[in-house]
Amino acid sequence: MRKTNIAVFASGTGSNFSAIVSAVKTGMIKANIPLLICDNPEAPVIKKAVRAKIRVVVIAAKDFSDRDQFEKAIIEVLRGCGIDLIVLAGFMRILSPAFVKRYPSRIINIHPALLPSFKGAHAIRDAFEYGVKVTGVTVHFVDEKTDHGPVIMQEPVRIENGQTLKRLGQIIHKVEHRVYPRAIALLLRGRLRVRGRKVVC
């Protein structure tokens, strides 16, 4: 049986991308990563992919007349690479409902908070400023709503007294790098089923 082909979508640093690539190398994730889709030509993740000899396709939304055209260009590349699973790792674009419907239960995302709390692009800061004592990391299937799909895995992170936002960010990222590969490996075992909002094993 051929291995699952994963496309990672990222816009920024790419620390999660690197963690996933390492997990593929060690055999923890039994899949290929033939493709990185990046919407930002300046993103540091691009160099990381080049170093890992992974094909990078930069598709910037500003080069297209609308989101539909932008996503059509992405879909064409995905088809060309025979992609089975899309892994969002800091991809700063919201995918349209039409795009998400094309890949049912085949797009996953990592969010740096315990969903449904602190959705959005500043989740670590929002949780810190709110003053919660526990935040964390969520890996979830992507559905038509932002930061909303069925939860695959979560891990809590305590916010200790006197902890700085910077330190919290470092801890969250460290947890992400452990949790995301584990969630992908679990998904690839093929035993996860989505029942309504719930993911069951």
- Residues forming contacts to ligand GRF in the complex (CB under 6 A) are 10, 12-17, 89-90, 110-112, 173, 176
CA distances (Å), origin 123, targets 6, 25, 73, 180: 26, 30, 30, 17
End-to-end CA distance of the chain: 22
Query: Catalytic amino acids?
Result: 111
Q: Which is nearer to ligand GRF, 73 or 92 (CB)?
A: 92
Could you tell me the smallest distance in angstroms from the CB atom of residue 198 to ligand GRF?
Answer: 22
What whole-number distance in Å separates Cα of residue 199 and Cα of residue 201? 7
What whole-number distance in Å separates Cα of residue 42 and Cα of residue 82? 26
Q: Which is nearer to ligand GRF, 12 or 34 (CB)?
A: 12
Omega cis (within 30) before 97 = no
Reduce the DSSP state of residue 77 to 3 states and report it.
helix
Residue nearest to ligand GRF (CB): 90
Reduce the DSSP state of residue 111 to 3 states and report it.
strand
Q: Which is nearer to ligand GRF, 16 or 135 (CB)?
A: 16
Q: Which is nearer to ligand GRF, 69 or 170 (CB)?
A: 170
What whole-number distance in Å separates Cα of residue 197 and Cα of residue 62? 34
Residue 189 is given by DSSP the state: T
Could you tell me the smallest distance in angstroms from the CB atom of residue 17 to ligand GRF?
Answer: 6
For residue 149, how many other CB atoms are within 10 A of its CB?
Answer: 22
Could you tell me the smallest distance in angstroms from the CB atom of residue 157 to ligand GRF?
Answer: 12
Could you tell me the smallest distance in angstroms from the CB atom of residue 62 to ligand GRF?
Answer: 20
Nearest Cα neighbor of 153 from 189, 197, 199 is: 199
Q: Which is nearer to ligand GRF, 4 or 135 (CB)?
A: 135
Could you tell me the smallest distance in angstroms from the CB atom of residue 188 to ligand GRF?
Answer: 20
